[in-house]
Structure 1
Amino acid sequence: MTPLRQKMIHWMERKNYSASTIKCYVTAVSVMARHFGRCPSKLSESDVADYLHYVTTSKSYSSSSLNGIYSGIKLFWENILERLWNVRRLPRPKRAKVLPEILSVEEVRSLIEATNNQKHKSILRMLYSTGLRMGELVKLKPSDIDSHRMVVRVQQGKGKKDRYTILTQAMLAQLRDYWRGYRPLVYLFEGRTPGQAISGRTVQQVFKKCMKKAGIRRQVGVHVLRHCFATHLLDAGVDTLTIKSMMGHVNLSTTARYIHVQNKRLEKVPDLLSQW
């Protein structure tokens, strides 16, 4: 490991950045350095501007990925190299406003019912009924399930924040059936090795397999269940502040985007052609 890379990692660790963010930012700087074939400390502001233009116009990166690349390089430039970051010459790429893909209630039901495996069914139901991120689900421990208060405790979720989300009676019954059959040692959902958490890759594979078996041809990943959680609760009349709290959103505007995909709102719009 080079001294610069080590310095960057140590700086972010002292700032309590998550492991995934550290990996993302270090990779962003490393890929830029390989692009030029030079140590990143030898690059000029013009080099960085050219590289940001390249990744922005290459069409190979999502809006979220571009944001991570920009943030990683900016952090390295300002805090590791201690150089001035000129926002006018190095502007952040504008993020595309993309509405989340949503499955209907019927599609979610058929997806979950596509498997008879109690562990897999419990995982899919948990993601849908609690709004957990996949990374939060795989870190859950049995002690995070509070059956007295009927909540699930999410420890150190995105942004290193703790929060609580809902635990329904139906989900609690499902978890008890699962517990009697599997008896996990450390994590609520473990992989083939006892005591080790199930991997996110395995969860994605379970989701894709159930999607195929249910005959749902949407090009979505397991994160869609979190989107469905928010949208279906809005359709059921739950207020956005409650949903924001359960999902762990920092800004209400993040939660409010689900309003735009509500079926109930669109159903109330009159048919203009029927008035002719």
Structure 2
Amino acid sequence: MIWTAKLIKHNNENRIAIQFEKNDRLIQRIKEFDDARWSAQKMVWHLPDTIENRIRFKIAPQSNSLPSSEGVEQIEKFKQWLRSKRYSQSTVVTYSEALKSFMVFYREKPIADITNEDVIVYNNEHILKNNLSASYQNQIVNAIKLFFQTIRETKMMVDKIHRPKRSKVLPNVLSKEEVKLILEAHSNIKHKMMLCLMYSCGLRCGELLALKPLNIDSKRNIILLKNSKGKKDRIVPLSPKILNMLRDYYILYKPKTFLFEGQIIGNQYDARSLQLILKQAISKVKIQKPVTLHWLRHSYATHLLESGTDLRYIQELLGHNSSKTTEIYTHVSTKSIQQIKSPFDDL
């Protein structure tokens, strides 16, 4: 493989741009890397700027962007521990990169000497100083806590590492009319089918793309979701209307391995292509909101609640561990709120 690699900034992210002569085999190879993306603006494929990718593509690391040799070694051990615990690859990458940021900050300090006070200093001098988000800070805290739980000789008191106060952000929800417009925007049966299935079953993007024909149980009118988030299986009801659409889709496309396959038979459909399908639908129906695929799942849950479905059933259908996660939809349901009369009307 003949390629050139260089560091770039893309959407305020540090990335590694990989350039090579256009070739289907090479494109397929680069897609196998975690979080590989194509930039139409820069006309390059690009990957996360990680230690592993810098080494893999022979980019000399900047001394101030890497932890100490001890830190690099410990991060690698941490990754091996996460994998042995069967954490997903995306979680392994997220936690190891979060820990790397902390280790870079304390590259001059032996890991055994790092204390809880150092976490506070890092939060103040790095997170807050650079206006980084509370969710990113929470990610760092999760990684630090998990890492120091695996280290024997340490001054860190894991139970006393504090988290940032969580912001109460409500889920974004579309009206039924808006959902209908989006789902009917595409004439392409595959594009229409994917969006309809996501909304009708409240699926996450990854759950939809991992579906296989054998997961569809047409006799029991259910879909079996295997190994979803949190390594859990669950079942969701399949509406007769969706089942009829699936039969038409299956006759036309005859998927082999995955229910929705990309240009190469047997390969999973690309998540970025699915996002583009939604973007095109929104543009066609002229909805101005910044809709994402996950909005369809939020809308599904909220519409179920507004139609009278018990919150416990919604929790099961969404695959939430805690009922508190599902309860957030009670704050965006308008069924009760619309019945409240404003005192302004009596003036």
Asked if Structure 1 and Structure 2 have the same fold, meaning a TM-score greater than 0.5 normalized by the shorter chain, the answer is: yes
Q: Deviations over 1:146-178 (max 9, x none)?
A: 111111111111111111111101111111111
Which of 279, 286, 291 is the matching residue for 1:215? 286
27-36 or 192-201: which moved more?
27-36
The structure carrying a bigger helix percent of its residues is 1
Higher relative contact order (CA 8 A, sep 6+): 1
- Residues 1:177 and 2:248 aligned together: yes
| 1:29 aligned partner, one-letter code | L
The C-alpha deviation readout for 1:184-208, integer Å capped at 9, x for no partner, is: 1101111111111112222112111
- Where 2:269 maps in the other structure, the secondary structure is coil
AA aligned to 1:248 is G
Alignment of 1:1-276 (within 5 A): 2-37=72-107, 41=111, 44-45=114-115, 46-53=117-124, 54-56=126-128, 58-61=130-133, 63-80=134-151, 82-86=153-157, 90-276=161-347
CA distance in 1, matches of 2:128, 2:165: 10
CA shift in 2, pair 1:192/1:84, >3 Å: farther
Pick the structure with more strand per residue.
2
Residues 10-32 of structure 1: per-residue CA shift (max 9 Å, x gap): 21122221222111101111233
CA drift of 1:66 comes to 3.0
> Which runs of no fewer than 5 residues in structure 1 stay unpaired?
none
Over aligned residue pairs, what C-alpha RMSD do you find?
2.1
Q: Structure 2: any 5+ residue segments left out of the alignment?
A: 1-51, 53-71
- 162-171 or 212-221, larger mean C-alpha shift: 212-221
Describe the SS at the equivalent of 2:157. Answer: coil
Name the CA distance, whole Å, in 2 between partners of 1:57 and 1:155. Answer: 42
Change (3 A) 1:18 1:84: farther
Deviations 1:175-233 (A, max 9, x none): 11111111111011111111111122221121112112211111231100000000011
Q: What per-residue deviation string (whole Å, max 9, x for no partner) do you get for residues 206-264 of structure 1?
A: 11121122111112311000000000111111111111101001111111110111121
Partners of 1:182 and 1:40 in 2: how far apart? 58
Amino acid at match of 1:70: V
Kept after mapping to 2: 8 A contact 1:29/1:40 = no
Per the TM alignment, residue 80 of structure 1 is displaced from its structure 2 partner at its CA by 3.9
- On the 8 A contact 2:202/2:297 being kept in 1, the answer is yes
Aligned length: 275
Q: Would you say the 8 A contact 1:33–1:40 is kept in 2?
A: no
Distance 1:162 1:172 in 2: 21
Helix, strand or coil: the match of 1:159?
A: coil
In terms of mean alpha carbon deviation, does 101-110 or 45-54 score higher? 45-54
Determine the C-alpha separation between the residues in 1 that align with 2:335 and 2:275: 30
Q: State the TM-score, normalizing by the size of structure 1.
A: 0.91
